[in-house]
């Protein structure tokens, strides 16, 4: 009897270990951090007031396709939805953003939009879980989508769309507790697992499809499904897709059919370079980081470290932009980083923020955040106008009058606007993370939050003009005295001779300022260690303790690695994490932050790099 009991306890421990989520550093949710002013609060206000309703309005054609699909499925007279491979994914991203906005500011009209659209999506889904309008209604472009469901997985975007649906479903469930979209997502995931890994007589002649999606996204979304449902089925499915990538199917063409284009050239564990289509690549790496964090295994860690190093040391623009080769919306050869021809899609920079945040959460190393903030403040934010209703898809580092580069209202392929929108909505969630005895301050901003450490609520109130100024004041108020380590990120641009990790961009004068940062506790200067890029104050904290951090910001000239031919003999100007550019409007040239260039008006030219 005692032996049986022992066995049962052992089994219970085993099962709980098996299913336990191994993530150790937890981000403080964006709903838990109140923006109080400074750089981010006005952007959030514009998001809620302008961008979210604007995006909903521009989703009408995508919603209409679902209306027609639902009518078709109900046997009603209806014009057929126009064929499109992934316009549904843009709608799902808009819906994800709406869900976040509802968490921040309830709005009956937006919730009604969600519920009515979800009803159309649910009515469009096949009883077995399949959901892809063009094949359901039989109005397809066979060369892009294949003649039948899952017959052209490399380019159809069937699974890519579902990934964005899962992200929206999780967000709406978190916002409202409603399972309507989550039910669609769960049904879809079970269907996909069945068809891809077990076999279903209605697909692929009953043989398992056993092929990874041509556009990654579902992997990271399945991680979110697992975090939300606690059902390991979703994590396993994510891992299955990662593990068959570059194994069961390797395209052998060129361009968009090259093995590297969708990172199918090697098993993902063996990949060491950032190659191919950028958004695909970064979504893949985010999925790999997510699965490693959730399993507690390091299946992909070696690959992720190598790919990250390769990316930051040879394939990223100074703006944090990814996409040197516009022909494939992808990475170029190492050190091939053109300025005028740069693609640097807004989606890729947004993805780079999320990817580096995932890497940081796995390892607690600030170097990931040092990259994330460069992509965030420069390339990602350039993707949206200050007015919140105009967008860049591409973010070159140089433009002239012939280009007439100006932010657009929307796009036929509108992946970028809802991507930057959902990032800004979640921006308060990028600011803090914690363990049971550490608080990490990753992104400085005017805000207030309360973090629970082992049952003690620690209130934090921060004031700063970061990223335009490096002074930060943080008031720490635990409900009772509490020992923990406060970890404040000291960026690479502040404490080294490089602008960002990777040494691709270094300061022309090769110097670090004397005392690159000064830290005071209750008015007294403190000397601290910098561990993994964080200044650490480990002590017992009391109500009203005040930390003041002064990150020395100077105007700096930056030079690129000599192997970047396009930047030879040139310098770029930076201050803190912000990259500046020279913009000419009506014959007058001014140096302005890159993220504000072409703000709703036609600049005649713009340059990030100029001759020394
Ligand atoms: O293919 C779907 C999206 O469209 C990609 O993520 C973007 O790069 C754009 O090509
Ligand atoms: Zn995009």
271-281 confidence digits (pLDDT tens): 999 999 999 99
CA of 414 to the centre of ligand 2 (A): 7
Q: Are residues 527 and 602 in the same domain?
A: no
What is the number of the ligand closest to the CA of 391? Answer: 2
Distance CA 428, CA 450 (A): 13
Model confidence pLDDT, tens digit, residues 3-54: 443 333 333 333 333 333 455 899 999 999 999 999 999 999 999 999 999 9
List the domain range (segments joined by +) for residue 527: 434-491+517-551
Q: Are residues 135 and 46 in the same domain?
A: yes
| pLDDT at residue 13, as a whole number | 35
Q: Are residues 522 and 567 in the same domain?
A: no
The pLDDT > 70 percentage for the chain reads 96
* Contact present, 609 and 398 (Cβ < 8 Å): yes
DSSP conformation letters of 220-286:
HHHHHHHHHH--HHHHHHHHHHHHHBTTTB---SSGGGSTTTTT-SS-GGG--S--SBHHHHHHHHH
| pLDDT at residue 513, as a whole number | 82
Specify if 30 maps to a domain: no
What is the number of the ligand closest to the CA of 347? Answer: 2
Specify if 599 maps to a domain: yes
Looking from the CA of residue 283, the nearest atom of ligand 1 is: 6
Distance CA 170, CA 229 (A): 9
Residue at which a domain ends, from 225, 249, 273: 249
Q: Are residues 591 and 454 in the same domain?
A: no
Interval 238-247 mean pLDDT:
98
What pLDDT band is residue 603 in, cutting at 50, 70 and 90? confident
Residue numbers annotated as active site: 329, 415
Interval 132-139 mean pLDDT:
98
What pLDDT band is residue 401 in, cutting at 50, 70 and 90? low
Q: Are residues 531 and 585 in the same domain?
A: no
Q: Are residues 569 and 484 in the same domain?
A: no
Kindly give the pairing relationship between strand 517-521 and strand 545-551. antiparallel
What is the number of the ligand closest to the CA of 282? Answer: 1
CA of 373 to the centre of ligand 2 (A): 19
Looking from the CA of residue 413, the nearest atom of ligand 1 is: 4
CA of 279 to the centre of ligand 1 (A): 7
Q: Are residues 604 and 464 in the same domain?
A: no
**Among protein residues, the one whose CA lies closest to atom 10 of ligand 1:** 329
DSSP secondary structure letter of residue 150: T
Q: Which two tokens stand for residue 177?
A: 């507790």
Edge-to-edge strand order for the sheet containing 482-489?
Answer: 26-27, 432-434, 438-441, 482-489, 534-541, 530-531
Interval 135-140 mean pLDDT:
97
**Among protein residues, the one whose CA lies closest to atom 4 of ligand 1:** 415
Buried b (16+ CB within 10 A) or exposed e, 170-180: bbbbbbbebeb
CA of 413 to the centre of ligand 1 (A): 8
pLDDT higher than 70, residue 539: yes
Question: What residues line ligand 1, using a CB cutoff of 6 Å?
Answer: 86, 215, 279, 329, 345, 347, 413, 415
Q: Are residues 460 and 583 in the same domain?
A: no
Specify the number of domains making up the chain. Answer: 3
Distance CA 394, CA 371 (A): 19
* pTM confidence score: 0.95
Q: Are residues 523 and 603 in the same domain?
A: no
Q: Are residues 73 and 141 in the same domain?
A: yes
Specify if 427 maps to a domain: no
Looking from the CA of residue 279, the nearest atom of ligand 1 is: 6
Looking from the CA of residue 345, the nearest atom of ligand 1 is: 8
**Among protein residues, the one whose CA lies closest to atom 6 of ligand 1:** 279
| pLDDT at residue 19, as a whole number | 35
Phi, psi of 306, deg, nearest 5 = -65, -45
Q: Are residues 598 and 451 in the same domain?
A: no
Distance of CA 271 to the CA centre of its chain: 21
Specify if 598 maps to a domain: yes
Interval 572-601 mean pLDDT:
94
Specify if 283 maps to a domain: no
Q: Are residues 49 and 69 in the same domain?
A: yes
Specify if 21 maps to a domain: no
Residue at which a domain ends, from 500, 534, 551: 551
CA of 529 to the centre of ligand 1 (A): 43
């Amino acid at each position: 009897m005692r032996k049986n009991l022992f066995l049962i306890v052992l089994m219970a421990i085993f099962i709980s270990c098996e299913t336990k989520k191994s993530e150790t550093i937890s981000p403080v949710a964006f709903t838990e951090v109140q923006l109080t002013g400074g750089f981010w609060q006005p952007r959030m206000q514009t998001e809620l007031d302008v961008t979210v309703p604007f995006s909903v309005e521009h989703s009408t054609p995508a919603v209409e396709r679902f209306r027609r699909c639902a009518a078709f499925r109900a046997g009603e007279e209806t014009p057929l939805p126009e064929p499109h491979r992934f316009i549904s994914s843009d709608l799902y991203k808009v819906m994800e953003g709406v869900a976040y906005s509802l968490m921040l500011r309830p709005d009956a009209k937006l919730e009604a939009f969600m519920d009515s659209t979800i009803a159309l999506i649910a009515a469009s889904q096949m009883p077995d879980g399949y959901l892809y309008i063009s094949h359901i209604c039989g109005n397809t472009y066979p060369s892009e989508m294949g003649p039948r469901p899952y017959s052209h997985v490399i380019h159809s975007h069937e699974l890519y769309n579902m990934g964005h649906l899962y992200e929206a479903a999780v967000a709406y469930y978190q916002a409202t507790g409603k399972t309507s979209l989550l039910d669609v997502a769960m049904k879809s995931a079970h269907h996909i697992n069945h068809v891809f890994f077990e076999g279903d007589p209605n697909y692929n002649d009953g043989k398992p499809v056993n092929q990874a999606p041509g556009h990654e996204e579902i992997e990271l979304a399945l991680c979110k499904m697992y975090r939300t449902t606690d059902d390991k089925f979703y994590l396993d499915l994510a891992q299955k897709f990662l593990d068959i990538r570059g194994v069961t199917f390797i395209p052998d063409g060129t361009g968009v059919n090259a093995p590297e284009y969708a990172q199918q050239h090697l098993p993902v564990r063996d990949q060491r370079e950032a190659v191919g289509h950028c958004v695909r690549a970064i979504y893949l790496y985010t999925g790999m980081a997510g699965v490693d964090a959730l399993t507690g295994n390091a299946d992909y860690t070696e690959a992720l470290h190598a790919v990250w190093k390769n990316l930051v040391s040879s394939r990223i623009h100074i703006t944090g932009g990814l996409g040197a080769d516009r022909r494939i919306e992808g990475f170029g050869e190492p050190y091939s980083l053109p300025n005028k021809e740069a693609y640097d899609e807004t989606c890729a920079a947004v993805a780079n923020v999320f990817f580096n945040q995932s890497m940081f959460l796995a390892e607690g190393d600030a170097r990931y955040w040092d990259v994330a903030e460069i992509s965030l403040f420069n390339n990602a934010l350039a993707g949206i106008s200050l007015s919140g209703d105009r967008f860049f898809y591409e973010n070159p580092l140089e433009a002239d009058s012939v280009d007439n580069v100006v932010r657009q209202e929307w796009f036929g392929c509108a992946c970028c606007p809802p991507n930057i929108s959902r990032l800004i909505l979640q921006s308060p969630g990028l600011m803090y993370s914690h363990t049971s005895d550490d608080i990490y301050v990753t992104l400085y901003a005017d805000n207030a939050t309360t973090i629970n450490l082992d049952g003690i609520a620690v209130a934090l109130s921060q004031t700063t003009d970061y990223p335009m100024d490096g002074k930060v004041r943080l008031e720490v108020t635990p409900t009772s005295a509490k020992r923990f380590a406060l970890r404040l990120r000291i960026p690479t641009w502040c404490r080294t001779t490089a602008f960002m990790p990777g040494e691709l961009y270094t300061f022309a004068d090769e110097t670090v300022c004397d005392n690159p940062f000064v830290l005071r506790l209750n008015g007294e200067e403190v000397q601290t260690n910098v561990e993994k890029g964080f200044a650490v104050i480990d002590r017992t904290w009391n109500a009203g303790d005040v930390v003041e951090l002064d990150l020395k910001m100077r105007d700096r000239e930056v030079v690129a690695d000599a192997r970047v031919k396009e930047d030879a003999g040139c310098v770029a100007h930076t201050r803190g994490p912000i990259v500046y550019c020279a913009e000419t409007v009506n014959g007058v040239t001014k140096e302005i932050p890159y993220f504000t260039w072409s703000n709703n008006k036609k600049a005649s030219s713009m340059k990030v790099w100029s001759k020394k």
